[in-house]
Structure 1
Amino acid sequence: MATTEMPQVRDCAVRSCAYNRQGCHAYAITVGSSDRAHCETYADLPVKGGIDAVARVGACKREDCQHNAGLLCHAPHITVGPDLDAADCLSYQPAELV
């Protein structure tokens, strides 16, 4: 999967994140933890940073998400915001059991 094919972080409602400057400007984010679809790139810092481009999803560790294949996100785009934690992937959808 080339960088241009990685899903875009279309919206991030977590204003306290250092990468959020009217949208996520991290180079790429990692989603996942053992119990939820947490944005592991979230940084609660007093400075703002990142690049002059919209972030992409670099890795997703939530194997149980229907958008996950080979630990990569295949959703067209994602949204990040508060759910169980301050910064979670709100596009996470549990995979259907077959």
Structure 2
Amino acid sequence: MPTLTPVKSCAATTCAYNQDGCAAGAITIAGSAHAATCGTFLALDARGGLPVANGAVGACQRLECVHNEDLMCTAADITVTDTAVCTTYEVAPV
């Protein structure tokens, strides 16, 4: 069984799941062609998720990313910016 890729850091402080790091149980990397963003990002005043910042990538919808295998992230870890962009995203050569 594959393991989930951890969210190494998340700077999206306006996200309801960011509690000094990603506290979502699992995030989805979404976005559009050549732009990978956190599809789990939720701008609310409330905070939720796990009691500790221990988020992971549960699914990746960016098929063109070199780290995507069977809709799962295979990177060692990922980093999310303050605008919810996955900086580990890398387009596979054609």
Q: Same fold (TM over 0.5)?
A: yes
Report the Cα distance in structure 1 between the residues aligned to 2:38 and 2:48, rounded to whole angstroms.
Answer: 16
- Could you give the per-residue CA deviations for residues 11-59 of structure 1, whole angstroms, max 9, x where no partner exists? 0011111100100000100001233211000000001111024011000
2:36 aligned counterpart, secondary structure: coil
Q: Percent identity?
A: 42
Q: Report runs of 4+ in structure 1 exceeding 6 Å deviation.
A: none
Unmatched segments (≥5 aa) in structure 1: none
Q: Counterpart in 2 of 1:90? A: 87
TM-score (norm 2): 0.91
Q: Counterpart in 2 of 1:18? A: 16
What is the number of equivalent residue pairs in this alignment?
A: 92
Q: Which amino acid aligns with 1:49?
A: G
1:2-81 matched pairs, under 5 angstroms: 2=2, 5-35=3-33, 36-53=35-52, 54-81=54-81
RMSD: 1.2
